[in-house]
Amino acid sequence: MENNKIAPEILKRAQVWLDGNYDKETKAEIRNMIENDPEGLTEAFYKDLEFGTGGLRGIMGVGTNRMNKYTVGMATQGLANYLKKMFPNNKTINIAIATDSRNKNTFFANTTANVMSANGIMVYLFDEQRPTPELSFTIRHLGCQAGIVITASHNPPEYNGYKAYWEDGGQLVAPHDKNVIDEVKKITDINDVKFERNGDLIEVIGDEIDSIYIKKIKGLSLSPEIIKRQKNMKIVYTPIHGSGVKLVPESLNAFGFENVINVPEQDIPDGNFPTVKSPNPEEPAALAMALDKAREVDAAIVMATDPDADRVGIAVKNDKGEFVLLNGNQTATLLINYLLKKWKENGLVTGNEYIVKTIVTSEILKDIADKNGIETYDTLTGFKYIAEIIRLLEGKKTFIGGGEESYGYLVGDFVRDKDAVISCCMIAETAAWAADQGKTLYDLLPDIYVEFGFYKERLLSIVRKGKAGAEEIQKMMEEYRANPPKQINGSGVVMIKDYLICKEFDISTGEEKDIDLPKSNVLQFFLKDGSKISIRPSGTEPKIKFYFSVKDQLESREKFEEVNDMLEKRIDDIIEDLGF
């Protein structure tokens, strides 16, 4: 393949690597792409892999737009430089590093440890894969100034990533997110990166942290006596080849659940995720094997965690004895309802407690909290914002729990990210509480809807790839802002919230209020009939997301199916009215 089929700027960027201080294997791969794979070379070098507000995420391979030793090294050097600027008076700067089950996880973890230790930073490195939330816990427990987990969440097998955390155990938020990005951008020459490992500054950690973490999780239990009565409840669990394999079953056992049934084929940590198309617990296909096992053993509940064990998908039996998948809003509803009822029953409510949810998560969580005298905080999408609220209110108010519709939940404040290990334990406890009343988790939903109103949610993602797609998405948002609908599906728009300008508009009164949240490209329309439509372009994928939430009264459990069908049709009609 001739070089003239490759754009000159791509060849120039590749030549920097061929001439630079890069290993011979990397250079050989670049030469091979120049000769045989010009398209692959272009993809690998047309831009730099961006260090975003959460860190790195990309396809593994050689090149500036790939996850490899050098892009990870440059990102780590930038972060190390920022840590030194921020903590100049610290005798030592400490960082914790963990990985999930992704391919090359150990290599990237060691690369990160090498660079950090070469910069004089003390590294606490986990001996093998661990859940992301345990990394969050470890930062706080060991008094670290930062943390890194090697993960690409539920992306396909060819991806890996690098997620950065600050000293509070939460992901980077302002001003640190932008400041770290600026420092990373300053590393333009590979010779600026210190790769020489300092073994004296690397301490391997493992089981001893697990024990402390699990003990803290066990302390969250609100119904130990109920668990004793329901200890034989059958729980099928799958880590989908990820890092939850050890700690989720172990934590459930510590809670007192003695009948945790694994899916052996998926217990094997494997970054190729061989038994699923996608290791995403939001997708029904990812739970197929666990559901087969649940039917085989007649389980009460199915739990599936994603590769880094921060999100969990749940399946339960409906009133016909068939397993159905709960969406993220339903699981959050069941969990928050249980937590608040038990906090009141156990005499723990003082009037100074709160929960947190994201703006696209079901409003029923606020209704439940209001009735129980608990304050609700709304945040932008992303658990780092929930962690920020916890940090800001630390020592002033008590965080009970929180979550987001995308299957991430947290109970207690010793972790500062969504935690599927904690969530599995507390959801299992909720199921035991239901069983103690002769009910299933599914049975609890109509009870909640009768009390608080029947909320139904759905997510619609519209993919628009490439430059033209990005422009189309931008035009859609501009059009909604310039010409907002006066009514949707026959119901008047009574309020508009625009998070890009941080303004809330009451259509009936003309009143305008400020929204006390960071700017974000999100629009929300609230309708007279209680519906809420949220529109948000994805920050990581070529898609625009529409979140639909509708509501009606449920007079009795017997009318559950009737109202459910009516709300499903209402969402269908809203989508049709919007032209999709």
**Are the C-beta atoms of residues 356 and 389 closer than 8 Å to each other?**
yes
**Are the C-beta atoms of residues 571 and 577 closer than 8 Å to each other?**
no
Q: Residue 547 in 3-state DSSP?
A: strand
**Alpha-carbon gap, residue 359 to 381, rounded angstroms:** 7
350-353, long-range: CB < 8 A, 24+ apart: 350/398, 352/397, 352/398, 353/397, 353/398, 353/399, 353/400
Rg for the chain (alpha carbons), in Å? 25
Tokens representing residue 47 in the block = 């831009």
**Pairing assessment for the beta strands 235-238 and 301-305 based on DSSP bridges:** parallel
> Comparing C-alpha atoms, which of 551, 546, 398 is closest to residue 476?
546
**Alpha-carbon gap, residue 136 to 146, rounded angstroms:** 9
Q: Kindly list the distances between the CA atom of residue 121 and the CA atoms of 109, 197, 507, in Å, as whole numbers in the listed order.
A: 15, 11, 55
Residues forming the active site: 153
Please, which residues have CB within 8 angstroms of residue 367's CB and are 6 or more apart in sequence? 452, 453
3-state secondary structure labels for all residues of 402-419: EEECCCEEEECCCCCCCC
Residues in the chain: 580
556 burial type by CB count under 10 A (0-12 exposed, 13-18 middle, 19+ buried): exposed
> Comparing C-alpha atoms, which of 267, 264, 147, 129 is closest to residue 206?
129
**Are the C-beta atoms of residues 281 and 153 closer than 8 Å to each other?**
no
44-47, long-range: CB < 8 A, 24+ apart: 44/14, 45/10, 45/13, 45/14, 46/10, 46/13
**Are the C-beta atoms of residues 220 and 247 closer than 8 Å to each other?**
no
**Are the C-beta atoms of residues 147 and 164 closer than 8 Å to each other?**
yes
Q: Residue 513 in 3-state DSSP?
A: strand
Cis-peptide into 175, omega within 30 deg: yes
**What is the dihedral angle through the alpha carbons of 210, 215, 219, 222, rounded to the nearest 10 degrees?**
80
> Comparing C-alpha atoms, which of 50, 31, 41 is closest to residue 10?
41
**Alpha-carbon gap, residue 198 to 51, rounded angstroms:** 25
Q: Which helix (H) or strand (E) covers residue 149, if one does?
A: strand 146-150
The angle at the Cα of 571, spanning 569 to 572, to the nearest 5 degrees, equals: 60
Q: Kindly list the distances between the CA atom of residue 167 and the CA atoms of 83, 148, 398, 442, in Å, as whole numbers in the listed order.
A: 10, 11, 20, 39
**Alpha-carbon gap, residue 98 to 93, rounded angstroms:** 17
